[in-house]
Amino acid sequence: MKLQTQSSIYLSSFSLVVFVLIGIVLYSLLRKLSNDELDAILRQERTEVLSNPELLLIANRAGAPFFSRLIAKEIAKSPGDTEVFYDSVNLIKGSGEKSPIRCLRFYETVQDQPVEFILFKSKLPAEQLVQQIILSMTLIAILFLFGIFLLNRFAFRRIWRDFYNTIQALKNYGPNQKALRLSGSRINEFRTLNEEIEKMTLRVSDTYDNLHNFTSHTTHEIQTPLAVIRLKSELLMQTSNLNDEQLQLIQSIGDNSRHLSQLNRSLALLFKIDHHHYSSTGIFYPATGILRQLDNLNELIDIKELKLTTRLPSEITVSMDPSLGDILVHNLVKNAIVHNQPGGMLEIDLQPDMLKVVNNGPDLSYPTDHYFSEFIKGPDSKGLGLGLSLVRKICEVSSLSVKYTYNNGLHQFKITWSEKNNKPG
């Protein structure tokens, strides 16, 4: 939920509660003022009634009402000089409807006879006035809430425009870009936020440049002495008069230099993938890439006498960086060949939304997900333990999904992608 929407909900809810409370208080106050006014009128009429109570009593006994809003009734005993105000209803003659009234009950002794008098007055005009005021308050509350909606729709959007512009700039920002240059703002908080973001992105950009330069220079500079070491070790291997121990030492130097060179290239590749040096767009032809890798590794397949089965429709394409696609299929195919058993099976099945590679192999020492971590490998592996880590990284940046399962001596890697990621060649 957006911040301005959340703020509007809080403001509207608070305003609604305030209006309800104000309405309740106002209604109670108006009722009290109305009753006080009616009570004052009834007290005044009570004074008029008591100015000649004998006449009222005679008229009451004769059945002739002296006062249309007065009821007089003889009682056995008077409770004393007391008066009681209360609300009641009166039946309107002719219509049969009931009307609210305000009553005053008081007692007086007339010619040694206790009499109960009840004066009443209609509350209908006051009730109508209260209802009109409450209705007006309700309309004001509705108009106020509608005004908040319009304010949120237009005024608040204008106020928060600078903030959303900053959010959009951050969404489009990449670590390989220079520091952001954000527009100024009339609002102090947004202006301060933009200034701090510019400082932060400047530090990020400098750190990224330093790390990139260090990695690039280190990778380049390491390759040269490693090439020299490999060349010198090969020359030493061709030197005569070397005993077996010396040959083994020289061979170990060459093997470790090649191992270190491969490690250097793999780590550099992981760095580039992590920092988005590769494009997320492009068209990759999996069948062409797989056939190329099988051709390069054909000798190893023959040495292991693997039973190769392929299904590679050439028209299938995947939306991803072609160079990353080549690295992906190279690692999958090489992994399936190197870790296969002599005389084992190797099956490569390409479908419109999936690539499946299945091979025989030894039992696993760890759960399958464990092998996607960096520098994790089997006990008999002589590799770097980075192949599957590269596979996972490439799948992440290319919006692909990778799943590794093992069942009854069969290792299966399944790379899947959505239909919209598959583009016609």
pLDDT band at 71 (very low <50, low <70, confident <90, very high): confident
Is the confidence at residue 110, as pLDDT, over 50?
yes
CA gap 425, 415 in Å, rounded: 19
Q: Name the more confident of 39 and 48.
A: 39
Q: What is the pLDDT of residue 33?
A: 86
For residue 397, give both structure tokens: 């940046």
CA gap 96, 272 in Å, rounded: 91
Mean residue pLDDT across the chain: 79
pLDDT band at 375 (very low <50, low <70, confident <90, very high): very low
Q: Name the more confident of 190 and 285.
A: 285
Question: Which of 76-90, 242-256, 279-293, 346-360 ranks highest by mean pLDDT?
Answer: 346-360
CA gap 54, 348 in Å, rounded: 120
CA 395 vs CA 329, 384, 391, 402: distances in Å: 11, 19, 6, 7
Residues with Cβ within 8 Å of residue 352, at least 6 apart in sequence: 316, 419, 422
Element at 103 (helix H, strand E): strand 98-110
Q: Name the more confident of 270 and 46.
A: 46
pLDDT band at 360 (very low <50, low <70, confident <90, very high): very high
Q: What is the pLDDT of residue 413?
A: 92
CB atoms within 10 A of CB 128: 10
Q: Is the pTM of this model over 0.75?
A: no
Residue 133 CA, chain-centre distance (Å), reads 44
β pairing state of 345-351 and 307-311: parallel
For residue 109, give both structure tokens: 């002794």
DSSP category for residue 330: H
Give the angle 108-45-128 at the CA atoms, nearest 5°.
130
Q: Per-residue pLDDT averaged across 301-316, rounded?
A: 92
DSSP category for residue 105: E
Q: What is residue 109's three-state secondary structure?
A: strand
Q: Name the more confident of 36 and 272.
A: 36
CB atoms within 10 A of CB 238: 8
Sheet holding 354-360, edge to edge: 307-311, 345-351, 354-360, 410-416, 401-407
Question: Which of 104-118, 146-160, 385-399 ranks highest by mean pLDDT?
Answer: 104-118
Element at 350 (helix H, strand E): strand 345-351
Q: Per-residue pLDDT averaged across 125-144, rounded?
A: 81
Question: Which of 72-76, 315-319, 369-373 ranks highest by mean pLDDT?
Answer: 315-319
The residue among 337, 335, 314 whose CA lies nearest residue 392 is: 335
Q: Taking a C-beta distance cutoff of 8 angstroms, is the pair 294, 333 a contact?
A: yes
Q: Taking a C-beta distance cutoff of 8 angstroms, is the pair 341, 301 a contact?
A: no
Q: Taking a C-beta distance cutoff of 8 angstroms, is the pair 27, 134 a contact?
A: yes
Residues with Cβ within 8 Å of residue 384, at least 6 apart in sequence: 259, 262, 263, 266, 375, 377
Q: Taking a C-beta distance cutoff of 8 angstroms, is the pair 69, 44 a contact?
A: no
Q: What is the pLDDT of residue 290?
A: 93
pLDDT tens string 159-173 = 778 888 888 888 888
Q: What is the pLDDT of residue 112?
A: 78
Alpha helices in 184-243 (DSSP H): 188-237
Element at 117 (helix H, strand E): strand 113-122
pLDDT tens string 196-227 = 888 888 887 887 777 777 777 676 677 777 77
Element at 414 (helix H, strand E): strand 410-416
Q: Residue for token digits 């959009």?
A: 168
The residue among 120, 111, 121, 104 whose CA lies nearest residue 53 is: 111
Residues facing residue 84 across a β-bridge: 105
Positive or negative CA dihedral for 142, 144, 146, 148? negative
Q: Per-residue pLDDT averaged across 282-295, rounded?
A: 92
Q: Per-residue pLDDT averaged across 96-104, rounded?
A: 82
Q: Per-residue pLDDT averaged across 134-142, rounded?
A: 83
Q: What is the pLDDT of residue 9?
A: 77
Q: What is the pLDDT of residue 384?
A: 41
Is the confidence at residue 189, as pLDDT, over 70?
yes
Q: Name the more confident of 287 and 189.
A: 287
